[in-house]
Structure 1
Amino acid sequence: MDRIQFGRRVAHWRGRRRLSQQEFAALMRRSLRWVEELEGGRRQADPNLSVATEIALRLEITLERLLYDPAVLCPAESEIDAVRAALQRHDVLTGRCDDSSAEPVPVTALQRSLWYARTGFQAGHFAKLGTQIPKLLVDATRAAALHEGDDRLEAYRQLSLALELTEAAAIKWGDSELAVTAGQRAVVAAERSGDPVIMASAARHLADAMTAHGQAAAAVTFVTAAANRLQGDLVQCGPEGLSVLGMLFLKAAMAQAAVAEADEHSPDALARAVPGFLDQADEHAERLGHDDNLLWTSFGPTNCALYRVAAHVQLSEGADAVAVAADISAASLATLPRERRAHLLTDRAIGEKQAGQREDAVDTLLEAEELAPEEVVCRPRTKHLVEDLRLLGVGSAEGRLRGLADRCGLRG
């Protein structure tokens, strides 16, 4: 790494640690001019290992991360196209295996593949899903077509869950049309599985996609119909049933908030229905009794609180969103997957922007980036927030925002 690149990385991590150049100089027992020259790449010689090691120590990162932290790779358009192409395949569309001699993948292998991909998603690794999902969809479709009896039903469960993952990834990629397509297919596969838990799980994903695609009113109608139809069965299905039932009401709340925000005539009246859905989700979380991650829902009291933050943000109630976020304990958050925690931080950052706390919003985004980089630098939603903050101005956080914008691929 040359001295210019090294200097930029030092400046980046100094900004992340909220240290001024003068403060960093004091920690290094050097002059302000030394720091300015170092970060500007104007030192005559590249830093030796002992200096780099001390810098890493003062910035509270490993030397390896200071020197070699790789750039975040966002999904290429070709990878998203590959997922879309997989959904358009004849065998995946019709559920018919094109090659009758093909051996179906064992359902246990499907379960392992899905677990691996879904775990990656919850860790905030969205880019690599573009290469994992197509094979998962093809394998699950063939398994559902060729297996018989209980294995066929399990294959349909795995197919529905794979399509749910496709929907969730498409939302992260900013492709709501692809998300709706995958969500609709997930609902169909879930019905064929005969499992009410999977049916409810698929319904909550489709509602999420419909809301993102500008069909929020239809999403409210659909997801509440699913809850009314399946509730009796779900409460008999133990913790998994309570988890997906609670998620249906959380998705109903978000869809209703989107309906209210888009309405020009009576938004306040429509918004009054949002707390009712959130309260119903809270009731099921209380029955569950703890935070859990059954069927990758992250459902429990803490995730319900996260959705309250998100609903306030959707309704442009930034101060309320920030207040609710502040009441969520660090210990509770620590039980959630990285994706959920980073998503809360990006929601909180939007709330801070809405409340006029724009410097805080930048620091919150940097915190989210450190936790799950792809949630920040790859998502169109977050890039729009960064653009808004640049236009509005962020005072003393301008330098930190500039670095974040660069990492998001935003120029100018």
Structure 2
Amino acid sequence: MWVFDSGSGHLMTMDVQFGRRVAHWRTRRRLSQQEFAFLMQRSLRWVEALEGGRRQADPNLSVVTEIAARLGVSVERLLYDPVVLCPAESEIDAVRAVLHRHDVITGRTDDAGVDPVPVACLRRDLVHARTGFQAGHFARLGTQIPALLIDATRAAERHQGEDRQEAYRLLSLSLELTEAAAIKWGDGELAVMAGQRAVAAAERCEDPVIKASAARHLADAMTSHGQAAAAVDFARAAAARLQPELLQRGALGWSVLGMLYLKAALAQAAVAEADDRSPDAAARAVPALLDEADEYAARLGGDGNELWTSFGPTNCALYRVAAHVQLSAGADAVVVAVGIPPAALGALPRERRAHLLTDRARGETQAGLREKAVDTLLEAEALAPEEVVCRPRTKELVEDLRLLGTGSAQRRLRGLADRCGLPR
């Protein structure tokens, strides 16, 4: 998303994908970086920095206009094109290919002459990628994750002592990130594969916090892949096993323990939704799991973001909204969503806020508030475009709204559907 600043003459960007779009259209026009540099009368280094996102964070409008003209594309499409915004299938395939590599599977590398990445550098790269995820930037993870996994695997094998334990910790967290990205990409099978590897790496690092963190990610992946009942059992078993140690770890331990119960609650809601015989009985188990998470949030005394959990009372409320939506209780979901204090919500990462808005839109759709649902989706898009125009579950909601009809919001919905790349 871009806003023109008339005072500076610059486009103030909320979209880090500008360089990605330039590279996309340059490639489509069969231009090398050097050829494009000639056309722009700039250096090759300038083009490399531009496409790599290291230059022109706030480009002058005249520069953007010139780039668009040289590439034969409209300024609007250069600034906002969902086809470029979303990850390419080849990038998702590259992540899958890395998970199938012999060294990544076995933890045994053959390149003995290559020094392992220092754990401090590995941690820095992970923090950078994780921070991007929480900001709602999922597409670029397709290019970040493969290197993270390879470097972390080599580090876990080659380092010794405390550095090896830290490398296994970072490997597990990198695999968690892979799982989380796969969920956003709508690839449940890939998510389960990464989640299982994360749990295995966590066991090697011998840190109960990392074990719990990996377990909650795997439970999420299992639920998304149609294994909700198994996810409930797994999350609850992990919580029971690790609880004594986690309670001694303060805010960090409470956060991952609370997240295990939140994931168990959503999995239980999915069990109830799929239960044709006694859905009400299955649904009655959901509030108890949410209440359990609330208890750990109360211990924190406020919202936090330990180990990128965003755990606290506000995120617990977000999960209540999601659980109501999963149980098709849209009106209840809207009531909970409306009751979340704006200041508390505003303090959460963009990914969490946009996720809530898409859940709220789903609840509004269930409650028959379809025009309002469109406005809520547009609000989510403005906040974190990739959560709306790239994520399969959200695009399905947009398609449902098109089929159901949205009255006076139909034109706004049509524009959103176009940006989602949905056929007319």
Select 1:386's aligned residue among 374, 398, 401: 398
Letter in 1 for 2:152: A
Residue 207 of structure 1 aligns to a residue whose secondary structure is helix
**Cα distance per residue 1:227-285 (max 9 Å; x no partner):** 00000000101111000000000000000000000000000000000000000000000
Select 1:71's aligned residue among 71, 78, 81: 81
Q: 1:404 corresponds to which residue?
A: 416
Q: 2:41 corresponds to which residue?
A: none
Letter in 2 for 1:354: Q
Residue 248 of structure 2 aligns to a residue whose secondary structure is coil
Q: 2:275 corresponds to which residue?
A: 263
Letter in 2 for 1:70: Y
Select 1:249's aligned residue among 243, 256, 261: 261
**Cα distance per residue 1:86-107 (max 9 Å; x no partner):** 0011100000112112101000
Residue 399 of structure 1, CA deviation: 0.2
Residue 307 of structure 1 aligns to a residue whose secondary structure is helix
Determine the C-alpha separation between the residues in 1 that align with 2:390 and 2:373: 18
Of stretches 142-151 and 94-103 in structure 1, the one that deviates more from structure 2 is 94-103
Of stretches 290-299 and 66-75 in structure 1, the one that deviates more from structure 2 is 66-75
Select 1:281's aligned residue among 275, 287, 293: 293
Q: 1:8 corresponds to which residue?
A: none
**Cα distance per residue 1:369-400 (max 9 Å; x no partner):** 00000000000000100010000000000000
**Cα distance per residue 1:22-50 (max 9 Å; x no partner):** xxxxxxxxxxxxxxxxxxxxxxxxxxxxx
Residue 69 of structure 1, CA deviation: 3.4
Q: 1:201 corresponds to which residue?
A: 213
Q: 1:317 corresponds to which residue?
A: 329
Q: 1:134 corresponds to which residue?
A: 146
Letter in 1 for 2:343: A
Change (3 A) 1:148 1:377: same
Determine the C-alpha separation between the residues in 2 that align with 1:103 and 1:67: 43
Q: Which runs of 4+ in 1 moved over 6 A?
A: 65-68
Alignment of 1:287-298 (within 5 A): 287-298=299-310
Q: What count of residue pairs does the alignment treat as equivalent?
A: 349
Change (3 A) 1:66 1:187: same
Letter in 2 for 1:241: G
Kindly indicate whether residue 233 of structure 2 is the aligned counterpart of residue 221 of structure 1: yes
Determine the C-alpha separation between the residues in 2 that align with 1:247 and 1:71: 35
Determine the C-alpha separation between the residues in 1 that align with 2:121 and 2:221: 28
Unaligned runs of 5+ in 2: 1-60, 62-74
**Cα distance per residue 1:76-95 (max 9 Å; x no partner):** 00000000000011100000
Kindly indicate whether residue 190 of structure 2 is the aligned counterpart of residue 178 of structure 1: yes
Q: 2:377 corresponds to which residue?
A: 365
Letter in 1 for 2:264: A
**Cα distance per residue 1:45-75 (max 9 Å; x no partner):** xxxxxxx9xxxxxxxxxxxx98973324100
Determine the C-alpha separation between the residues in 1 that align with 2:112 and 2:78: 49
Kindly indicate whether residue 222 of structure 2 is the aligned counterpart of residue 210 of structure 1: yes
Letter in 2 for 1:69: L
Alignment of 1:18-167 (within 5 A): 69-72=79-82, 73-167=85-179
Determine the C-alpha separation between the residues in 2 that align with 1:163 and 1:68: 33
Residue 237 of structure 1 aligns to a residue whose secondary structure is helix
Determine the C-alpha separation between the residues in 1 that align with 2:123 and 2:402: 44
Residue 334 of structure 1, CA deviation: 1.0
Q: 1:30 corresponds to which residue?
A: none
Of stretches 181-190 and 95-104 in structure 1, the one that deviates more from structure 2 is 95-104
Determine the C-alpha separation between the residues in 2 that align with 1:249 and 1:166: 21
Determine the C-alpha separation between the residues in 1 that align with 2:119 and 2:78: 40
CA RMSD of aligned residues (A): 1.2
Determine the C-alpha separation between the residues in 2 that align with 1:183 and 1:66: 39
Q: 1:333 corresponds to which residue?
A: 345
Letter in 2 for 1:410: L
Determine the C-alpha separation between the residues in 1 that align with 2:327 and 2:119: 43
TM-score w.r.t. length of structure 2: 0.81
**Cα distance per residue 1:293-325 (max 9 Å; x no partner):** 110000000000000000000000000000000
Letter in 2 for 1:366: L
Determine the C-alpha separation between the residues in 2 that align with 1:240 and 1:210: 24
